[in-house]
Amino acid sequence: MTLKEAKNGKLYVVEESTIGQPVKRRLEAMGLIEGTLIRKINQALDGSIIFMVRGNRLAIGKELADYILLREALDSDLERGRRGSCRDHGRGRGHGRGHGHGRGFRGTCARGQALGKMLDSDLSGMEDKN
Amino acid sequence: MLKYLIGVVIAAYVIYLVYRQVKNFKNKNYCATCSGCPSASSCGQFKDDTQS
Amino acid sequence: MIADKKDNIAPKRENGQLKEELQIGFIGNPNSGKTTLFNAYTGARLKVANWPGVTVEKKQGAFKYHKHIYKLVDLPGIYSLTSYSIEEKVSRQYILSDDVDVIVDVADASNLEKNLYLALQLIEIGKPLVLALNMMDVVEERGMEIDTHRLHEMLAIPVIPVSARKKTGLDILMHAVSHSTDMDLKHKRIMVYSDPIEDKIEKLVQRLVAYDPAIYNPRFFAIKLLEQDKEIMETYPIDVSDIVDRSYETDIINEKYDFIEEIVEETLINKQEKEIFTDKVDSVLTHRIWGLPIFFAIMGLVFFLTFALGNGITGILEQWLEGLGSWTETVLKDLRVGPVITSLLVDGIIAGVGTIVTFLPNITILFLALAFLEDSGYMARISYVMNGLMSKVGLSGKAFIPMLLGFGCTVPAIMATRTLENQRDRIKTILITPFMSCSAKIPIYILLSGLFFGKFAPLAALSMYVIGLVTGLLTAYLVNKIEKGMDKKKDKGRGQELNQLLIELPEYKTPNAHSIFIYVWENVKAYLTKAGTTIFLASVVLWFILRFGTGGFVEDMSQSFGASIGRILVPVLGPAGLGFWQIGLSLIAGLAAKEVVVSSMGILFGIANVESALGLSAMQQSLAAIGFGALNAYSMMIFVLFYTPCVAALAVIGQELKSIKWTALVFAFQLVFAWLASILVYQIVGLFI
């Protein structure tokens, strides 16, 4: 579905963004990437839309919005995120200067918690303003 | 006397102002006191970006 | 400046040695405060040139650090390091070259995710890098915290909190920079991708090293090849089609962002609440139906406060001014300076400059309100809210920002049109921005409406803004219609994509008293400086042409040169109810700066004769005496609203339009428009009174 058809407050995944360059570039730098979670916040009468990706709040015009295609976020998308970055525990990220703070020693993966929060607020907080 | 002194001071200041104005125009400093030229503009006198 | 402050930090020699002369590159997102930080070090020692062969600005500066000279280069504000824009290419080339020793990535700490994207790319390049977390004061204000220690661990580079505005952390930053010259970033694995991608990177690294054993950082170039970066593919034209079967750009970007989210989650505290707050406020302020009316109400309130509230304090200033005038007169009389000099000082300078200063309270309130709107984050929403209306007249919501700035000063407003990439939109916006009455016209509106409209004065003044906006939009609409007609004939189907709205909305925050104070103070200073210079000059000149006629010094101004000049316009302005030489002269004087209209009226009407007091009460009498009433006043306001902006604005328009022909066209258009509009108002309304 297009961004226009999406419901306010719900989580989606960006399926395709067929915007031309250089605009696509700018959007990517701000977090609108294929495969990213996206949340629509508001839509104006003229079709402009406010949405949130990767912690960035953006407003785009109607024509641009038409080029963004979404699909509903499945549990697997959130799971992927939850697991995806946590698998790198043993990879030596967080290269401290000998402090030994590998990510694996931290217990629950932070990202999973973040997504969990997002999902909770999605279900309870945001009402469908359409 | 005093009135000539005052006259000269004012005249000197006026001449200085004219000179300054002409110099500014040549340097593309049209405002002379650019208050808040947005970023990506060559105002000549840089200002802090007032956006946070 | 840094070198002047007392340094308590003795240069240590731990990992790196202090180099004699360092080349440091400043890079970062636009609006990250990079330039402010840059300026904090270099001060006035700045050199602006262009990067060779392109139109991208290169700013260079230098400063002393512990007996060493550090050379700084301010790179353009960019979001990423691809090869799509000139700014990015130039920056990338510079970073990879030998011309720079250490890179300082200036990041807006209050916007960490976005700024980290660039940081990760810089880390991948491998040159010594220091992360300067700027705007830490904003982060604190918003009730957030950043765990810089953890951030340092996760990124493996020095992370230095600074505040360019408050000038904190500057020494520590340079200290970190001076010790980072030997940093070996190339061999650290900070950004690790998923297995399939890492495999491909390894293979590409082997191929690259085989091709060029002296290659700087093969991993970086391997990643770029995987992204199918055009520039890198040209630099290393090896056949890797078996590895790079498609562009992995999106995958790589996604994984970078995944890592960034991880980092943010671990280092940024309290962010969630801010988002929820912003959502709530935006649900009202960007409401699909109420958003626009709310905006108009807010703007109406801003102007109303400007006109109504300021007047209380203005009254006090006026009394002071009168007092100053008569005091000066008496003093000068005692000193026997003679009538000429006395007149110059009292009737010329004090009348001309003083009258302007009395409007300072109003101007201050306007800028205070604008600063409030900007600092809270609401300004960004305005483009969004106005987009619907703007697109109906053929412009984008983005074009409204210059128009909004035009309420302050036309000059920065015209410069702000540079953000509109569509050339036609730019020209259209430049054309209608002068209709947004700049703050210099406020004294005129207040003076005239105050003198003639009693308690309706704020309304009369406000109507100028409404009329200006409506006329501006109508003009844009008409031009758009004409354009469409022409396009059809030429069969041009112009893509609207460049026209499209694309803005970032910051989270709302409580406006910071300090930044508002600075903003308002800068504008107040500018206003007073203008009074003391441009207006001073204009007042002196005016005094001359009003006090000297063909017979030398004259007591009666109607015999002066100024009067003769003004009289030329009388027949032209007559139909508009402005057929008075004094008005004509004032309007001409307004070309220097709009405030001068008020100055000249102060000089012309403030004194019935040499004896009586300076002041607006005298002005009222003088105006009534020549038959200038409320309708004339309104007609004059209309004229002032539309006619050509001051020479400064005209010059900028000429500069931006790059054509004298077009500038002359704009000049003529606005003059004629003002003339017709005031005639229309005077004649038609005159029928009803």
In b/e form, how buried is each residue of B6-45, taking b as 16+ CB within 10 angstroms? bbeebeeeeeebeeebeebeeeebbbbbbbbbbbebebee
Which residue of A28, A77, A103, A115 is the best one to mutate when testing the C interface, meaning the one whose CB has the most C CBs within 10 A?
A28
pLDDT at residue A25 is higher than 90? no
Q: Do C154 and A35 touch (CB under 8 A)?
A: no
**How much of chain C is helix, strand and coil, in % rounded to 5?**
65, 10, 25
Per-residue model confidence (pLDDT) at position A95:
39
Structure tokens at B51: 């956006």
Which domains are seen in chain C, by residue range?
20-178 (3.40.50.300), 195-269 (1.10.287.1770), 295-488+520-688 (no CATH)
pLDDT at residue C677 is higher than 50? yes
Per-residue model confidence (pLDDT) at position C297:
93
Averaged pLDDT for residues C581-586: 90
Q: Which residues of A touch C27 (CB under 8 A)?
A: none
Does A100 contact chain C (CB < 8 Å)? no
Does A116 contact chain C (CB < 8 Å)? no
Per-residue model confidence (pLDDT) at position C577:
87
Q: Do C502 and A61 touch (CB under 8 A)?
A: yes
Q: Which position has the higher pLDDT, B7 or C471?
A: C471
pLDDT at residue A91 is higher than 60? no
Size of interface B-C (CB pairs under 8 A): 122
Averaged pLDDT for residues C84-112: 88
Q: How far apart are the first and last CA of chain A?
A: 16
Q: Do B40 and C419 touch (CB under 8 A)?
A: yes
Q: How far apart are CA C161 and CA C285, in angstroms?
A: 33
Interface ipTM > 0.90: no
3-state secondary structure of A50: strand
pLDDT tens-place string over residues B14-49: 898 888 888 877 776 656 555 444 433 334 333 222
Label the pairing between strands C57-65 and C129-134: unpaired
Per-residue model confidence (pLDDT) at position A113:
45
pLDDT tens-place string over residues C414-464: 888 877 877 888 888 998 999 999 888 998 998 888 888 878 888 899 999
Q: Using 50, 70 and 90 to split pLDDT, how confident is the model at C606? A: low
Q: Pick the closest to residue A121 from C573, C555, C278 (CA basis).
A: C278
Averaged pLDDT for residues A45-72: 87
Per-residue model confidence (pLDDT) at position C201:
92
CB C603 within 8 A of CB C538: no
CA geometry: angle C427, C428, C431, nearest 5 deg: 85
Q: Do A59 and C497 touch (CB under 8 A)?
A: no
pLDDT at residue C308 is higher than 90? no
Per-residue model confidence (pLDDT) at position C616:
63
Distance from CA of A84 to the nearest CA of C (A): 8
Q: How far apart are CA C239 and CA C219, in angstroms?
A: 17
Per-residue model confidence (pLDDT) at position C682:
93
Per-residue model confidence (pLDDT) at position C527:
87
Q: How far apart are CA A118 and CA A106, in angstroms?
A: 21
**How much of chain B is helix, strand and coil, in % rounded to 5?**
50, 0, 50
Find the CB nearest C261 among A27, A34, A111: A111
User: Which positions 139-168 of C are in contact with A (Cβ < 8 Å)?
Assistant: 150, 153-154, 156
Percentage above 90 pLDDT, chain C:
24
CB C325 within 8 A of CB C350: yes
Which domains are seen in chain A, by residue range?
3-72 (2.30.30.90), 75-124 (no CATH)
pTM, entire model? 0.74
Q: Using 50, 70 and 90 to split pLDDT, how confident is the model at C470? A: very high
Q: Where does residue C374 rank: exposed (0-12), middle (13-18), buried (19+ CB within 10 A)?
A: buried
pLDDT tens-place string over residues C251-303: 898 888 889 888 988 888 776 677 788 888 888 898 888 899 999 999 999 98
In b/e form, how buried is each residue of C72-92, taking b as 16+ CB within 10 angstroms? bbbbbbbbbbbbbbebbbbbb
Strand partners, C129: C103
